[in-house]
Structure 1
Amino acid sequence: MIYFTRNMILNGFGLRNIPDEKVFPFTLELVENLPAISLTRPVTFLVGENGSGKSTLLEALAYAARVPTVGGISLEEDPLMEPARRLGKMMSLRFGEKTTAGFFVRAEDFLGFVKNILRSIAELDAEIQEIRDSWTGGDLERALATLKAERQGYTDRYTENFDGMSHGEGFLRFFNQRITGKGLYLIDEPEAALSPARQLSLIKIIMDAVKEKGSQFIIATHSPIIMAMPDAQILHFDSGTITGRHYTETDHYRLTKAFMEAPERYIEALNKPIY
């Protein structure tokens, strides 16, 4: 079980005001109607259909909270994140506790993160080999000590065979290594990188981080497996509103359950003419 705690890092958020000039994302009905949201559990799920605004809101929260971005271009520099920056600048966050730990990550950014790690290791290998090839005297190992220690730091943290892992294996190892303390962790659709079994592994990592480190997570997801995490708060995005729902009341749970009970009925319906 996830143990409830009142000593949360982020207690809630809302909008200070909306600009008079109507530009995206302030044209979204969700943003125009955004209520003051209280976060009541260490794990909060943002759920809803594609286009409901949950990812935009999560990105804006990451910008407003000033948590670092993993893998891709930072939120401050990414030109595609301009809507998130606009919204983030208008947000008011209610912190229960300040922390510098945490991060924001999207599943698609993880590939960029892996490439950066492997590129750094490759550059260190090339530099070490160049020194070996050109060395003319003195203590070679002492000269290489700093570079080798830096390389060892990468492999100790992320494993020598990071590129040989599956996407899901690497994703889980990343979480195990980077959730290092009581921090605010914002994750967008982690299921994109994970099989159903690996999603259960992620649940275990998150539950342990909450219990042992006091971490807090806000996760946008479509996965009925991930959102089944016990004691989590579920915020449902629908028709420009955000409401709290129980797990079994979410569209994701209901549709998945109905489909698994009678998949042939749904497949047959796809073959029916639409007019």
Structure 2
Amino acid sequence: MFLKRITLLQNNIPSYSQYPFSIPSIKSMDEIILKKNVTFFVGDNGSGKTTLLEAIAEKCGFNTAGGGRNNSYEVHASVSSLGEFIRLSWMPKVTNGFFLRAESFYHFASHLDEVDDTGFRDYGGVSLHEQSHGESFLSLFLNRFKGEAIFLLDEPEAALSPQRQLSFMRIIRDLTQNEQAQFIIATHSPILLGFPDATILNFDKGEISEIGYEDTDHYQITKYFLQHRERFLAEIFSDEG
């Protein structure tokens, strides 16, 4: 594990009423101590998890639209609004890694088509645009993710079927066990959140706090739906709902 601590530089913040400090979880943040090689960020939409992940990517020198340190291309509104207000503490520091943004992955694939002169060696030997969305994600994970590195992933499940999410979990395990890679993943997937011995940080309730897997909304709602599907649907479709 390489990244040990994320600290909010509170004395540098000009106003807590402006974005991103208007987000309760970011406003209340002091420091986050990372304890495991795999850390998940969870929370409702707009809770701040992607905002913080993007800021970490900027401080790592990764393209905040998606990519590593050597991927230079521009996508509208890809600059982090939080990056200059956090400090990362490393032991030791690594420069290798990747930031995956599911929402802008198409632009990253187009960037590779323009600049790659190695026959897409690091991406399975085929343009990512010539693979299905799920195949292109797995090609990235299998071929580009290697060595001592930190990988920051924003909703990687967006392109992965449940079966491929399980395959991705095996990739995470192999990389963290054999090559000491570190992952920070923002996700809504109850499957990925089940990765053994990971830390789950919840961004809901106006703070960032550690939470157990079975205590997450992702687990509880999914479990209730699977066990009581007809009752659940009757409740949300009722005229009073």
Correspondence for 1:205: 171
Unaligned 5+ segments in structure 2 are: none
Residue from 179, 185, 188 that aligns with 2:154: 188
**Same amino acid, percent of matched pairs:** 40
| 2-structure distance, mates of 1:76, 1:156 | 20
Q: TM-score, normalised by structure 2?
A: 0.89
Report matched runs for 1:1-275 at 5 Å.
8-17=1-10, 18-21=12-15, 22-69=17-64, 70=66, 78-82=75-79, 84-85=80-81, 87-120=82-115, 150=117, 153-157=118-122, 158-160=124-126, 162-274=128-240
| 1-structure distance, mates of 2:77, 2:109 | 21
Aligned length: 235
Give the structure with the larger helix fraction.
Answer: 1
The secondary structure found in structure 1 opposite 2:173 is helix
- AA aligned opposite 1:20: P
| 1-structure distance, mates of 2:147, 2:126 | 24
Give 1:108 shift: 2.2
- Superposed CA deviations along residues 223-257 of structure 1, whole A, max 9, x for unmatched, are 00011000100001112111111111111101101
- AA aligned opposite 1:31: I
- AA aligned opposite 2:34: L
Give 1:268 shift: 0.9
- Call closer, same or farther: CA 1:111–1:76 in 2, change over 3 Å: closer
Q: Which runs of 4+ in 1 moved over 6 A?
A: none
The secondary structure found in structure 2 opposite 1:200 is helix
- Call closer, same or farther: CA 1:9–1:75 in 2, change over 3 Å: farther
Query: Mean Cα displacement is larger for which, 106-115 or 153-162?
Result: 153-162
Query: Mean Cα displacement is larger for which, 226-235 or 239-248?
Result: 239-248
- AA aligned opposite 2:201: L
Give 1:54 shift: 0.6
Unaligned 5+ segments in structure 1 are: 1-7, 122-149
| 2-structure distance, mates of 1:68, 1:20 | 25
- Call closer, same or farther: CA 1:217–1:75 in 2, change over 3 Å: farther
- Call closer, same or farther: CA 1:156–1:57 in 2, change over 3 Å: closer
CA contact (8 A) 1:48 1:54 kept: yes
User: Larger relative CO (CA 8 A, sep 6+): 1 or 2?
Assistant: 1
